[in-house]
Structure 1
Amino acid sequence: MNDIAAASADIDVPVLLRGAPSSVEFKKLRKRLLRQAREAIADFGMVPDGAGPQARPKWLVCLSGGKDSYTLLAVLIELRWRGLLPVDLLACNLDQAQPGFPEHVLPEFLETNGIEHLIVREDTYSIVTGKIPEHRTYCSLCSRLRRGILYRVAREQGCEAVVLGHHREDILETFFMNLFHGGRLASMPPKLVNDEGDLLVLRPLAYCAEADIAKFAAGMRFPIIPCNLCGSQDGLQREEVKRMLQGWERETPGRLSVMARAMTHARPSHLLDRRLYDFVNLRPLGPEADAEGASGEAEDPCAASLALTARMLAAR
């Protein structure tokens, strides 16, 4: 039952998964996304201890109609089907009353696939366009309004968490946005508690690459709905950061993976934040102390120096 290779032929498979491509390449992609999501859920303790058939938390899975949220929903449904996610799932779409929004697409998709869901219609479009000039970015206000509505819906439905489809690149882009424009080292955490302290916000796709998600969504033929509200605005700062990261990945394949790994290895003693590390009271321990004892952390060799040394030795 847990074999993806046999999933498409298994009548017990959720309807959403029955049309999955059977190619070896797609099965590997599917397994990779499942593994990475499962690792993120475990690493950050997204499911409480003791969760099971008798005590199942409920998650509000936010579905926008984009590739990321479709993939999130599919991955969570498969993990639950395989007995790896003891959680009840409620898919939720917030219809923001954008002109031309195909409001029939998501309800039909969810009903056809037998997915428990809720469609909430709130005219945030008029509020955003009424308060923000056309040449300004809508994202900030739109996001705040959307998040507030989803929090309210999660409370009304008895959900423990609001689950979002942000992936690895979203997290990296936010890091550089904060670095360049906010003057701080911060990003989207895979797990946090909202300001009111009564809900979790979870990002199970935190380890997943955007390219993998795009391939998965294309293979599954999800009915993608573009966001014409913010997607039609050119020159957004996030888009500039996205292009920068994509350029780095083209020039040096694998760089984004290394950068994402760096997000999990913070070294407070090698930064400048005095709130995170006690530099004032840092003193040498004496002649007999080793380098590690002086700062509490051994300093790793510079990766660039190691690469340069390797090239020099290879040239010789």
Structure 2
Amino acid sequence: MASVTDSLDAKHRTHFNKLQKKLRREVGKAIADYNMIADGDKVMVCLSGGKDSYTMLEILRNLQLSAPVNFELVAVNLDQKQPGFPEHVLPDYLEKEGVSYHILEKDTYSIVKEKVPEGKTTCGLCSRLRRGSLYGFAEEIGANKIALGHHRDDIVETLFLNMFFGGKMKAMPPKLRSDDNKNVVIRPLAYCREKDIVRFARYKDFPIIPCNLCGSQENLQRQTIKEMLNNWDREHPGRIESIFSAIQNIAPSQLADTRLFDFEHLEDGVQRAGQQAHRLDVVNLFGGH
């Protein structure tokens, strides 16, 4: 099968190779930093038909060839029975690529349309139903890791969504255990920027499937946050990276959550420190060592 670089001129081939190496390096670092994948793991790669999940699958397949551990990949798509969904696209692509896959059919579309009033955001309920279906299916096929395609921009956007609209300092962790303690979820693209994924998907010419259920809704809170962050990124390059670094560098004593830092007994610590300093002064006064 012809490589994607075969159809590119020398300049674009160089750009593609650099981009692919960058994404591989970032995914590899995220996997190593958070111990996402271990020897013998069976990783269920959740494939939606969007640029992010295609890129995640491609990079994981690439890393699988050179990784120091052996792990299995299986692609899973949840067919939510959206009207007009091109059911043939993903099977055709995965069979052409020689990727092991499952198509899980669950009519979550009807449930969302029934439960959510017209004009209201469907994303919340849709994602919960999708997540529940995928978690259960992972157990069925014996997958001990579930890989989702969220990238660095998604994580930063979620931080501001929770701050602005939920009153919480909370984002998306690169790795987590599900609420039922039965699944470990990983986000291998956690260090990758969306703009790099967009470029990679264009080079690869993935058969993108748009989400007509939630992706077409205008004025979503996430879209507002995305536009704000994109403006910041244009006006102040490096700000998104700085914000993500802050997520990794938390100082609980400099915030105000009494569950994370013992403000109540802070004076006790000051008193103990004072007593220790006094004892040290006495020892020094009498020439102790």
Considering the TM-score relative to the shorter chain, is it more than 0.5?
yes
The amino acid of 1:129's aligned partner reads: K
* CA distance 1:229–1:91, shift in 2 (3 Å): same
Structure 1 residues not aligned, in runs of 5+: 1-14, 290-316
* CA distance 1:246–1:216, shift in 2 (3 Å): same
Residue equivalent to 2:16: 26
Structure 2 residues not aligned, in runs of 5+: 278-289
Matches within 5 A, 1:67-216: 67-216=51-200
Which structure has the highest helix share of the two? 2
The amino acid of 2:34's aligned partner reads: F
Paired with 2:261 and 2:177, the residues of 1 have a C-alpha distance of 24
Paired with 2:99 and 2:68, the residues of 1 have a C-alpha distance of 18
The amino acid of 1:245's aligned partner reads: L
Residue equivalent to 2:282: none
For residues 249-278 of structure 1, what are the alpha-carbon distances to aligned partners after superposition, in whole Å with 9 as ceiling and x for unaligned?
A: 111111111111111100111111111112
The amino acid of 1:60's aligned partner reads: M
Count of residues in Structure 1 that have an aligned counterpart in Structure 2: 268
The amino acid of 2:90's aligned partner reads: L
Paired with 1:144 and 1:92, the residues of 2 have a C-alpha distance of 17
Q: Between Structure 1 and Structure 2, whose CA radius of gyration is higher?
A: 2
Paired with 1:232 and 1:68, the residues of 2 have a C-alpha distance of 17
Residue equivalent to 1:12: none
Residue equivalent to 1:35: 25
Paired with 2:4 and 2:80, the residues of 1 have a C-alpha distance of 30
Paired with 2:220 and 2:205, the residues of 1 have a C-alpha distance of 28
Say which SS state the counterpart of residue 192 (structure 1) adopts: strand
Paired with 2:105 and 2:51, the residues of 1 have a C-alpha distance of 21
Tell me the TM-score normalised to structure 1 length. Answer: 0.82
Paired with 2:105 and 2:186, the residues of 1 have a C-alpha distance of 23
Sequence identity (%): 51
The alignment status of 1:258 with 2:245, answered yes or no, reads no
Q: Note the C-alpha offset of 1:279.
A: 1.9
Contact 2:4 2:203 in 1 (8 A): no
Residue equivalent to 1:242: 226
Paired with 2:151 and 2:37, the residues of 1 have a C-alpha distance of 19
Paired with 2:162 and 2:210, the residues of 1 have a C-alpha distance of 26
Paired with 2:69 and 2:27, the residues of 1 have a C-alpha distance of 11
- Farther off after superposition, 83-92 or 213-222: 83-92
Q: Note the C-alpha offset of 1:175.
A: 0.5
Paired with 2:166 and 2:70, the residues of 1 have a C-alpha distance of 38
Structure 1 runs (4+) deviating above 3 angstroms are: 286-289
Contact 1:63 1:92 in 2 (8 A): yes
For residues 208-250 of structure 1, what are the alpha-carbon distances to aligned partners after superposition, in whole Å with 9 as ceiling and x for unaligned?
A: 0000000001001101111011012111111101111101111
Paired with 2:133 and 2:90, the residues of 1 have a C-alpha distance of 18
Q: Cα RMSD over matched residues? A: 1.6
Q: Note the C-alpha offset of 1:31.
A: 0.7
For residues 44-84 of structure 1, what are the alpha-carbon distances to aligned partners after superposition, in whole Å with 9 as ceiling and x for unaligned?
A: 11124xx2xxxx11011000000000000001000001234
